[in-house]
């Protein structure tokens, strides 16, 4: 991350805190034909219809959010009844990329043990926490597979991520970045527990949440994520990565919204290097989705050192999922984190890049189900 030693001061000492203005909706008349005659009217009608459908889709996405950034249910489940009797369901992927033996095409029920009933699990609620620059959108395959298998799934949009409207450059702390996650956990009942799944920088947010709400987290899964020790920051981890190769350093570009004489406020990833860094094994359609959906990564949470205790953070069961073809957090670095902060179990996704929810969705699903099905410690 460049000359990071000079970036250790507060990146939020200047700048106003007002939220960005809402984007204006495009008028449905902007693409209407200007000529007369029936052709013009037909073109105008078609344009209006397309615009209305687009607006309806956008409204459905927004209404599908709960608590400022969590999906309540996927559209595939909510509207399943409407598809009944209309023939076989559409395939979940239209990618022409050959499917490898490490990620076979299986039905969700084939990924579950025949005698597994999600109602018998310690919890059937899984909360997905995206990584830096990503949003809840990146979990779309995982959400569908888990829900079809009987789990209740929430995908969180962290502050300034996904469709969360806050300006990324104004995020000043890890607690502010993780607020949608901690608010969700705070709203759970005393007896409710969830499984947290963290990706990338989301590992720091999940660790922070484990320290705050240890009794509400049944298990924490770190998916090629920052699994840090007490007193360390995500920056400490990324500095180790840059010692191994220069891919990350080449791909990153700092944002100085408070001026070049102040510390960076965010990090952008060069779109031209997205595939090499993050998606070297992912289908092209998912790389295209990410290229138009990713947002800057707030710098303050990367900089912040975590305070983790054995009584809180240490009381939660942890699992790490390695990704063997990862160029952003290479396998040796993942193994180094596991060595310094050993989890209960380490699992591996062979052939997965830094976005296993794109490159190995079926294998990831099977791994998450396996972890969810592990009985509580001491259970007979």
Q: Which residues have a catalytic role annotated?
A: 200, 326, 354
Among residues 187, 116, 121, which one has the least CA distance to residue 154? 187
Angle at 170 between CA 169 and CA 174, to 5 degrees: 100
Dmax (CA) of the chain? 78
Angle at 351 between CA 349 and CA 355, to 5 degrees: 75
Whether the Cβ atoms of residue 185 and residue 312 lie closer than 8 Å to each other? no
361 Cα distance to chain centroid: 13
Residue corresponding to tokens 């909360």 = 127
- Angle, helices 234-244 vs 331-340, to 10°: value is 140
Compute the distance between CA of residue 277 and CA of residue 354 in angstroms, rounded to an integer.
Answer: 8
Any bridge partners for residue 317, and if so which?
219
What DSSP letter does each residue of 169-197 carry, written as one string? GG--SHHHHTHHHHHHHHTS-TT--EEEE
Compute the distance between CA of residue 113 and CA of residue 84 in angstroms, rounded to an integer.
Answer: 27
Specify the DSSP element, H or E, that contains 109: none
Whether the Cβ atoms of residue 337 and residue 207 lie closer than 8 Å to each other? no
Whether the Cβ atoms of residue 131 and residue 301 lie closer than 8 Å to each other? no
Cβ-proximal residues to 95 (8 Å cutoff; 6+ apart), any chain: 283, 284, 285
Helix or strand or coil: residue 153?
strand
Among residues 166, 304, 126, which one has the least CA distance to residue 231? 304
Whether the Cβ atoms of residue 136 and residue 69 lie closer than 8 Å to each other? yes
């Amino acid at each position: 991350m460049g000359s990071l030693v000079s970036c250790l001061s507060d990146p939020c000492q200047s700048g106003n805190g007002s939220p960005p203005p809402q984007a204006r909706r495009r008028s449905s008349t902007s693409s209407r034909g200007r000529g007369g005659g029936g052709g013009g009217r037909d073109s105008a009608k078609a344009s209006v219809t397309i615009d209305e459908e687009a607006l309806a889709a956008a409204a459905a996405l927004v209404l599908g959010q709960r608590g400022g950034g969590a999906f309540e249910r996927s559209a595939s489940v909510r509207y399943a009844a409407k598809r009944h009797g209309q023939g076989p369901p559409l395939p979940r992927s239209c990618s022409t990329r050959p499917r490898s033996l490490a990620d076979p095409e299986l039905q969700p029920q084939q990924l579950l043990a025949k005698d597994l009933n999600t109602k018998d699990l310690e919890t059937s609620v899984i909360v997905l926490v995206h990584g830096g620059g990503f949003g809840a959108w990146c979990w779309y395959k995982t959400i569908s597979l888990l829900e079809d298998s009987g789990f209740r799934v929430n995908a969180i949009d962290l502050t300034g991520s996904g469709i969360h409207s806050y300006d990324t450059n104004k995020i000043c702390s890890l607690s502010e970045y993780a607020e949608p996650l901690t608010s969700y956990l705070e709203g759970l009942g005393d007896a409710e527990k969830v499984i947290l799944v963290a990706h990338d920088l989301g590992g720091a947010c999940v660790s922070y949440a484990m320290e705050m709400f240890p009794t509400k987290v049944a298990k924490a899964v770190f998916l090629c994520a920052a699994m840090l020790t007490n007193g360390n920051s995500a920056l400490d981890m990324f500095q180790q990565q840059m010692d191994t190769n220069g891919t990350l350093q080449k791909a990153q570009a700092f944002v100085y919204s408070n001026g070049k004489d102040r510390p960076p406020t965010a990090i952008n990833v060069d779109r031209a290097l997205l595939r090499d860094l993050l998606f070297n094994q992912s289908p092209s359609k998912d790389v295209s989705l990410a290229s138009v959906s990713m947002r800057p990564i707030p710098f303050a949470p990367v900089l912040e050192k975590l305070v983790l205790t054995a009584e809180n953070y240490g009381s939660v069961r942890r699992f790490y999922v390695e990704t063997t073809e990862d160029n952003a957090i290479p396998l040796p670095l993942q193994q180094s984190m596991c060595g310094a902060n050993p989890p209960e179990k380490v699992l591996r996704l062979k052939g997965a890049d830094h976005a296993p929810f794109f490159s190995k969705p079926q294998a990831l699903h099977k791994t998450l189900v396996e972890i969810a099905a592990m009985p509580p410690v001491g259970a007979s």
